[in-house]
Amino acid sequence: MSQARSFPRLPFLTDPMVAVLVAATTLALLLPAAGEARALASNVSNAGIFVLFLVNGMRIRRSEIARGLSNWRYFGPLMLFVFAGMALAGVGFAALAGTVLPPLVALGFVYLGCLPSTVQSATSYTSLAHGNVALAVVGAALINIAGVFISAPLFALLGGESAGDIGSEAILRIGLILILPFVIGQVVQDRVIERVAAHRARIAWLDRAVIGMAVYVAFSGAVEQGLATLFAPADWAALIGLVLTMLALALTAAWASGGLLALPRADRIAFLFAGSQKSVAIGAPLAAILFPPSAAGFVIAPLLLYHLAQLVLAAPLAMRLARQPD
């Protein structure tokens, strides 16, 4: 009797984050938070962001941070790729987008380029491709920690006048809502890390809930500002085309960079996914702090499309890499 052929599951088809993002944007389109309701939703979102970064500080081991920093042959070029190469690519795509899309959406490409990579999906696809999972975890985690400190000032520098005034008030909010809870989590880590590890599944849903709330608040403001009337079908086509082109460029450049660095194949795969992917887990909460709700939804539109596209394209790419001989 012949055995039924088993097909590999595509992670993006079952990734709950996809459902969360779709649900948050759909809810914002159908039932946007406005007036006092939006202020309440924004406060709830900020409280959730504080708790999320507190938990992140508790679960990222200090020993992993130290080990990652010691591997400068991998981590140094990865930092440059994510915060220099991708940021400059974002500026270039923003210039292209500015000719056909609203200014705030074009600015979103600069914001996208300045963000760190995502930990969870970069690790998952590195594992699926038979890459160096440990290196992917540590590298992406370190990039995320650095992004908390780097992304906002880098965006302010590259966005110019279009980025608005990221002044002392925004920096204070970032310090209180992102950095302070993370530092507190690192301080108390030794006493709570085992309990945090035991609730990994619940923490994953905390991530998704906080991101979903931030996206909902952002898109509610965009809907109130006339998102549906500002975007014609041709605009959506242009936005999707630019996002897919930027992702393809990021994947190609990350893989080529790993080759130029003469990284072992397993490390090169980790570099590919940690370098090319972008984190909505940092991007959505940070946007909620940096931008008023009336602007945040437009700015994060390229990020949300990029995140969905990276999930769709990374799965077959990872499986193809897994089938190729070393």
Q: What is the full per-residue pLDDT of the chain (326 aa) written as tens digits?
A: 444 444 445 555 556 767 787 888 888 888 888 777 878 888 888 888 788 778 878 877 777 667 666 778 888 899 999 999 999 999 999 999 999 998 889 999 999 999 988 766 777 788 888 888 777 777 777 888 888 888 888 998 898 766 655 555 666 777 777 778 888 988 888 888 888 878 777 777 877 788 788 778 877 877 776 666 667 788 889 999 999 999 999 999 999 999 999 999 989 999 999 899 888 878 888 887 888 877 888 888 899 889 888 888 887 888 888 887 66
Q: What pTM was estimated for this model as a whole? A: 0.78
pLDDT reported for residue 257: 95
pLDDT reported for residue 117: 85
pLDDT reported for residue 113: 95
Nearest to 121 by CA among 154, 105, 150, 144: 144
CA–CA separation, 321 vs 10, rounded Å? 14
CA–CA separation, 121 vs 244, rounded Å? 18
The number of CA neighbours under 13 Å toward the Cβ of 51 is 16
pLDDT reported for residue 197: 79
pLDDT reported for residue 84: 95
Range 36-321 classified under CATH 1.20.1530.20: yes
Per-domain residue ranges for the chain? 36-321
CA–CA separation, 114 vs 86, rounded Å? 7
pLDDT reported for residue 7: 42
Q: DSSP character for 163? A: G
